[in-house]
Structure 1
Amino acid sequence: MNSVSISNELSQLLNGSNIQVQLSVPQLVEKVLNRNEGSLTSTGAIRATTGKYTGRSPKDKYIVEEASNKDKIDWGSVNQPISEEAFSNLYNKVISYLKEKDEVFVFKGFAGADKKHRMPIQVINEYAWHNLFAHQLFIRPAEDELLDHQSEFTVISAPNFKADPAVDGTKSETFIIISFERRTVLIGGTEYAGEMKKSIFSVMNYMLPENGILPMHCSANVGREGDVALFFGLSGTGKTTLSADPNRKLIGDDEHGWSANGVFNIEGGCYAKCINLSREKEPQIFDAIRFGAVLENVVVNSETRVADYDDSTLTENTRAAYQLQAIDNIVDPSIAGHPNTIVFLTADAFGVLPPISKLSKEQAMYHFLSGYTSKLAGTERGITSPQATFSTCFGSPFLPLPANRYAEMLGEKIDEHNAKVFLVNTGWTGGEYGVGERMKLAYTRAMVEAALEGELNNVETVKDGIFGLEIPQHVTGVPDEVLQPNKTWADQAAYEAKAKELAAKFRENFKKFTSVSSEIEEKGGPIA
């Protein structure tokens, strides 16, 4: 099937009598309740469950191998190829399936807050609650923008359509397939709404670099003087907590682009984890979960309809989706200038990385490519001691292009705009996990604030003897001895052994970057 016939098939679907286009939030809420797709909580949010898939299915994600991308994609376990024929056959089946539904829901909007670089998209859903999710997570058009909206990428999600691996060329009943030539994301066999969000992020990670824009899996905020900060970090590193600063306005919490004009949010909403959520700890997120918001897999009292955020019966990965405008302290529209400060967050359970260190450009590229943090004992079956975890560019599941492409762009941006880069360890001090203690949040906040205010730009530093990192000797509000990890360990031999163990893991992980310049490895990594 060629792209013209696919377009014709899509046109037939969109012109069907069952199509519901651009319903308002109240209309979608009514549809969700009338169709028994979800329930209303005590705050007015919609609560839905996703069945057996309560997270992404990375092993079921594919990119169609096409002439235009065959030599560009970083093929492998993350970017699995699938044939054009297999995609076309599944596409036909899904379209035919949706044509037979009583109702199909369509959202038209944008990815990218900067109008110069945004991509018009449409999301076609079997479920009303999925369409409500799209309404919260993507950028909503104004009425005049809707009049001439021409979608450049289409997401088609049919959760109840299941693939037959023997016939369809998939690994399971679930599939998430991106076709760049057909400008289509095809999703089936899973009710997890996050697949839609992350698929568009993957698309932007492929398309933005073609226009000289660096896509980034990070949060961003801006200070009173217009100074912009980026926060990169994997789950559990404190990215959400540290970027939610009452003295700074939020640009976005997860996906951004860095263009020649500055930083812009790719999304129009937030998809926040809400396990153990409380108003005391995270008031912005807690209060944003109101009418129009979507709660995913959160346990709710059947009588009072009050959400129990501490209950992980269904999954630890409970989520809330809401518009950015549900938060008071935001930048609207979600665009700002060039970053002054970049913070890489890691939760080092080995207890050997400095709580804050200044990075050279080469070190920034090295740690960006490494994307290090720790999995802790007890978080997954079989993990009995801290495990080093590396996620390339802090977002490896969403990077279609080779990693060095993104790292080189970051290096160029750092040079061009003189951005200061810091590695901040929110993990352990005085010993590894189980021996030492977690870095005090008050200390981390003080260090991040000092970095953002420019107080660390010209301070005296001492070089770490194993990782080669430049450690500030003084930070206001932090005891000097806390800044140097070797001084917090009672047993110096044990510290050195553990530090060398982690350094070896960094080196071993970095071997996979065969096309990265040797200068980055030599100047950026642990001292050999």
Structure 2
Amino acid sequence: MRLNDISRGTGLEGHGICNANLIYWTPPTSVLYELIVKRGEGLLSHLGAVAVKTGHYTGRAANDKFIVDEPSCHDHVAWGKVNRPFDPAKFDALYDRMCAYMHGRDLFVQDCYAGADKEHRLPIRVITENAWHSLFARNMFVAAEPEELENHSPHFTVINMSHFHALPTVDGTNSETFIIINFARKMIIIGGTSYAGEIKKSIFTILNYLLPIQKKILPMHCSANVGPKGDSAVFFGLSGTGKTTLSADPNRSLIGDDEHGWDDKGVFNFEGGCYAKIINLSKEAEPEIYETTRRFGTILENVAIDIHSRRIDLNDDSFTENTRASYPLTHIPNIVKSGCGAHPVNIIMLTCDAFGVLPPIARLTPEQAMFHFLSGYTAKVAGTEAGVTEPSATFSTCFGAPFMALNPTVYGELLRTKIARHKVTCWLVNTGWSGGAYGVGSRMKIGYSRALVNAALDGTLDAGPFAKDNFFDLDIPTTCPGVPADVLNPRNTWEDKAKYDETATRLVGMFKENFKKYAPHVSSEVAEVM
């Protein structure tokens, strides 16, 4: 089927989908815009972005994600709280009902790729009932050329029927919502949620499973950019740590903002777009991302909009703090068009420490890098979740536990090997609190974080003097251009030094307790980092 064809009921029989109404096959952005407005799925905002709402779910439904437990994956998946098993017969029955739901409905299909490197990319198909979800897939994945669409054969298919709900007592799901991966049938089915992030993260989970097993490629939840000298840098970090913000640097070219692979040639983007968190987005601090919110082709998810003037309010969190913008990478002026870069010279591991005791930047040994990669530490602050009244530590292995289908040490060992082989310098950067914990201290200034990262990437910090931290055994630079010297050592910023010592000791204990589950699988040098 050719690009932009609209047909009745053809081409999807291989997925068991029959008797659909209109099928919009890889429609362009302009067609999807028209349909989003015509179908009442969203509003056209001032200057051209389209604003949509996701309803009840404004983030991932982590407790509703499953992997079908079948012979091909049974011995590989790290089953547990994150990777919950699902019965194959239950999957088949649920999917049969889902296919029946699609009878007579308009469907939207995007044939595209996951992975910018043509040697490793995964042909995928995304089938949705909402036009805006189809635009999301078009933004977020790597577009197929018109000639490639003629013979596009998906290796995995995502079927997202957001208004179709499961029956938990019948289907074996946790709720009416479900995200279920079936490696044997090469399929992902999603229902009961309109949050578009489920589409992209389900494909990320697929790549996290396939690439290490099949090709010894390290999949990474990270952003990446490259400097004027061709020096690539990788930024690991959980949501809210500054991964997208710090990698969008006007002096460096962006490879991608969220998901990458690291193979024998270097790093490559899994995606063709960005999915940036934009609550309180500042034109002054983040000009490149800010401009994308005013562009045709951008989806503004759960962003407040005035229905009369159609102007948006990026500071309004009345729908959610997790407001998002989905836009193609080409909306960013300074990008690596190929989506590929050389082996990284530097790795930045980002954390938002709400306890305020980690230094704003520290150089890591290879053993410390593996320790912090497996730990994946950040912290939640009071008010972000019900019941959270003080900072609480969050450990998300490999900085992306919800998407890691294999044992974490598989990814950790791949990272250790690549760091050693390519002599990569690793840094831990705290974009969280300074001068005290959340509620007492203040958030690290983004200008300081940028200055520290820039000094790390251009070699300034590595060449300068370091002091040893007494709690986390970290090497802390003593000077950095553009950053006051007293900010570099977090203890210096606290008025109550005894309180700092007590808080730092408590966080060290949390690190140690969390790492006990990895200790039997790593070297003693890594296990005894703290």
- The question of whether the paired residues in 2 share the 8 Å contact of 1:220 and 1:252 is answered with yes
- The question of whether the paired residues in 2 share the 8 Å contact of 1:361 and 1:411 is answered with yes
Deviates more, 1:503-512 or 1:8-17: 8-17
Does 1:423 pair with 2:428? Answer: yes
1:307 equivalent in structure 2: 312
1:4 equivalent in structure 2: none
Does 1:323 pair with 2:328? Answer: yes
Once residues 10 and 280 of structure 1 are traced to their aligned partners in structure 2, the CA distance between those partners, rounded to angstroms, is 50
Does 1:248 pair with 2:252? Answer: yes
From 126, 131, 134, the equivalent of 1:128 is 131
Deviates more, 1:455-464 or 1:372-381: 455-464
Deviates more, 1:457-466 or 1:147-156: 457-466
From 335, 340, 357, the equivalent of 2:362 is 357
Once residues 479 and 314 of structure 1 are traced to their aligned partners in structure 2, the CA distance between those partners, rounded to angstroms, is 38
Once residues 159 and 37 of structure 1 are traced to their aligned partners in structure 2, the CA distance between those partners, rounded to angstroms, is 12
2:165 equivalent in structure 1: 162
- The question of whether the paired residues in 1 share the 8 Å contact of 2:469 and 2:475 is answered with yes
Once residues 402 and 150 of structure 2 are traced to their aligned partners in structure 1, the CA distance between those partners, rounded to angstroms, is 35
Once residues 312 and 12 of structure 2 are traced to their aligned partners in structure 1, the CA distance between those partners, rounded to angstroms, is 44
Once residues 224 and 14 of structure 1 are traced to their aligned partners in structure 2, the CA distance between those partners, rounded to angstroms, is 52
From 329, 338, 341, the equivalent of 2:343 is 338
- The question of whether the paired residues in 1 share the 8 Å contact of 2:233 and 2:348 is answered with yes
Q: Which amino acid aligns with 1:355?
A: P
1:58 equivalent in structure 2: 62
Does 1:480 pair with 2:485? Answer: yes
2:217 equivalent in structure 1: 213
TM-align CA RMSD: 1.8
Does 1:292 pair with 2:297? Answer: yes
- The question of whether the paired residues in 1 share the 8 Å contact of 2:519 and 2:527 is answered with no
2:465 equivalent in structure 1: 460
- The question of whether the paired residues in 2 share the 8 Å contact of 1:362 and 1:519 is answered with no
Shift of 1:488: 3.1
Q: Which ranges in structure 1 are unaligned for 5 or more consecutive residues?
A: 1-6
From 270, 273, 283, the equivalent of 2:287 is 283
From 179, 184, 188, the equivalent of 2:187 is 184
Q: Percent identity?
A: 53
Shift of 1:383: 2.0
Give 3-state SS (helix, strand or coil) of 1:31's partner.
helix
CA displacement 1:301-357 (0-9 Å, x = unmatched): 111111122222221111111110111111102111010000111122222212211
CA displacement 1:333-382 (0-9 Å, x = unmatched): 21110100001111222222122111111100000111111212222232
1:3 equivalent in structure 2: none
Once residues 307 and 163 of structure 2 are traced to their aligned partners in structure 1, the CA distance between those partners, rounded to angstroms, is 26
Once residues 216 and 384 of structure 2 are traced to their aligned partners in structure 1, the CA distance between those partners, rounded to angstroms, is 39
Shift of 1:31: 1.5
Shift of 1:515: 4.2
Does 1:42 pair with 2:46? Answer: yes
Shift of 1:68: 1.2
Q: Which amino acid aligns with 2:124?
A: I
CA displacement 1:426-474 (0-9 Å, x = unmatched): 2223333333333333332222111101123343322222211112233
1:96 equivalent in structure 2: 100
- Shift in CA distance, 260/379, structure 1 to aligned 2, threshold 3 Å: same
How many residues align? The count is 518
Give 3-state SS (helix, strand or coil) of 2:308's partner.
coil
Once residues 318 and 310 of structure 1 are traced to their aligned partners in structure 2, the CA distance between those partners, rounded to angstroms, is 10
- The question of whether the paired residues in 1 share the 8 Å contact of 2:371 and 2:527 is answered with no
Deviates more, 1:229-238 or 1:508-517: 508-517
Shift of 1:235: 2.5
Give 3-state SS (helix, strand or coil) of 1:107's partner.
strand
Give 3-state SS (helix, strand or coil) of 1:456's partner.
helix
Deviates more, 1:369-378 or 1:83-92: 369-378
From 81, 101, 111, the equivalent of 2:114 is 111
Once residues 432 and 233 of structure 1 are traced to their aligned partners in structure 2, the CA distance between those partners, rounded to angstroms, is 20
Give 3-state SS (helix, strand or coil) of 1:117's partner.
coil
Shift of 1:242: 1.5
Once residues 77 and 171 of structure 1 are traced to their aligned partners in structure 2, the CA distance between those partners, rounded to angstroms, is 13
Shift of 1:179: 0.5
Once residues 445 and 46 of structure 1 are traced to their aligned partners in structure 2, the CA distance between those partners, rounded to angstroms, is 31
- The question of whether the paired residues in 2 share the 8 Å contact of 1:359 and 1:422 is answered with yes
- The question of whether the paired residues in 1 share the 8 Å contact of 2:432 and 2:443 is answered with yes
CA displacement 1:476-498 (0-9 Å, x = unmatched): 33333332223333333222211
Q: Which amino acid aligns with 2:135?
A: L
- Shift in CA distance, 266/19, structure 1 to aligned 2, threshold 3 Å: same
CA displacement 1:226-279 (0-9 Å, x = unmatched): 001111122232222211111001111111111111111100011111222243
Once residues 16 and 429 of structure 1 are traced to their aligned partners in structure 2, the CA distance between those partners, rounded to angstroms, is 57
CA displacement 1:63-101 (0-9 Å, x = unmatched): 000101111111111110001101111111112211321
Q: Which amino acid aligns with 1:81?
A: P
Q: Which ranges in structure 2 are unaligned for 5 or more consecutive residues?
A: 1-10
From 460, 469, 485, the equivalent of 2:474 is 469
Once residues 447 and 124 of structure 2 are traced to their aligned partners in structure 1, the CA distance between those partners, rounded to angstroms, is 42
Deviates more, 1:494-503 or 1:438-447: 438-447
1:262 equivalent in structure 2: 266
Once residues 278 and 356 of structure 1 are traced to their aligned partners in structure 2, the CA distance between those partners, rounded to angstroms, is 23
CA displacement 1:196-249 (0-9 Å, x = unmatched): 011001111101112111111111111001001111122232222211111001
Give 3-state SS (helix, strand or coil) of 1:218's partner.
strand
Shift of 1:514: 5.1
Give 3-state SS (helix, strand or coil) of 1:317's partner.
coil
Once residues 169 and 379 of structure 1 are traced to their aligned partners in structure 2, the CA distance between those partners, rounded to angstroms, is 30
CA displacement 1:138-191 (0-9 Å, x = unmatched): 111111221221111000011111111111111111110001111100011111
From 388, 391, 404, the equivalent of 2:396 is 391
Q: Which amino acid aligns with 2:440?
A: V
Does 1:19 pair with 2:23? Answer: yes
Q: TM-score if structure 1 supplies the norm length? A: 0.94
Stretches (4+) displaced over 6 A: none
